[in-house]
């Protein structure tokens, strides 16, 4: 692809991620019966799933940035597989938000743009750091999802099933990035990433 094609493809992905409803290739993990949740529990679950949805909007952008910059064809193919699973996550989170009567973040265009810029910047540093950044992101997402499993209402088996499957997938994505040569990031970088993710979580839980 030439540069203009790449820009158009990315812009198209951004529009589809933010404004369209994606289709999952795999079955929805939360297909079981709906629990009888109280209003407050339902609102809490919807807010948590909105935060997860924002994470998946960012994953779309990050993987698009990676695909643009990955230098090795095999790495690109593996990342493509992970990116497809991220689309499942995006679709599942949206479906769950709808089932709970919640709404998506109003700032999704901003999240997409910011994550794409970060992904592309990491890509400029070469595959080793690019993949290291990806692995660390996936690990932090896995830990974050684990935290959500503590916070989601115990009875909300549908949200929990979605988050459980995402967590399993993110751990595999992290391993894929490491297997292809992702380097461990310096501690201050990991710390800054956690801080940025915290700001995103706090904001997305409200807006
Ligand atoms: Fe994901
Ligand atoms: Fe992932």
Task: Give me the mean pLDDT over the 70-86 stretch.
Answer: 80
Residue 166's nearest CA partner among 152, 149, 145 is 145
The ligand that comes nearest to the alpha carbon of residue 166 is 1
The ligand that comes nearest to the alpha carbon of residue 55 is 1
Start-to-end CA span in the chain (Å): 36
Mean pLDDT of the chain: 87
With b meaning 16 or more CB within 10 Å and e meaning fewer, what string describes 71-91? eeeebeebbeebbebbbbbbb
The answer on pLDDT for 124 being more than 90 is no
Instruction: Assign 68 a pLDDT band (cuts: 50, 70, 90).
Output: confident
pTM here? 0.86
- Ion ligand 1 neighbours (CB, 5 A) are 59, 86, 89
Quote the ligand 1 centre to 176 CA distance (angstroms): 14
The answer on pLDDT for 196 being more than 70 is yes
User: Per-residue DSSP letters for 26-87?
Assistant: SPPTT-SPPP---HHHHHHHHHHHHHHHHHHHHHHHHHHHHHHH--SHHHHHHHHHHHHHHH
Residue 188: both structure tokens together:
């201050």
Task: Give me the mean pLDDT over the 32-48 stretch.
Answer: 90
Residue 71 φ then ψ, to 5°: -90, -20
Cβ contact 178:135 at 8 Å: yes
């Amino acid at each position: 692809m030439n540069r203009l094609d790449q820009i158009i493809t990315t812009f198209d992905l951004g529009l589809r991620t933010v404004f369209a409803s994606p289709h999952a290739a795999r079955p929805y993990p939360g297909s079981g019966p709906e629990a009888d949740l109280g209003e407050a529990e339902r609102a809490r679950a919807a807010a948590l799933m909105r935060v997860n949805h924002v994470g998946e909007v960012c994953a779309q952008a990050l993987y698009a940035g990676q695909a643009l910059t990955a230098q090795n064809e095999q790495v690109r193919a593996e990342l493509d597989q992970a990116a497809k699973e991220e689309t499942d996550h995006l679709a599942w989170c949206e479906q769950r938000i709808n089932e709970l009567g919640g709404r998506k973040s109003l700032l999704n265009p901003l999240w997409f743009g910011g994550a794409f810029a970060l992904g592309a910047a990491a890509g400029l540093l070469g595959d080793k750091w690019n993949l290291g950044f990806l692995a660390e992101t996936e690990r932090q997402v896995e830990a974050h999802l684990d935290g959500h499993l503590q916070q989601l209402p115990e009875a909300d088996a549908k949200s929990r099933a979605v988050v459980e499957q995402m967590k399993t997938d993110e751990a595999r994505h992290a391993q894929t990035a490491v297997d292809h040569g992702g380097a461990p990031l310096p501690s201050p970088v990991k710390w800054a990433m956690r801080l940025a993710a915290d700001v995103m979580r706090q904001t997305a839980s409200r807006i």
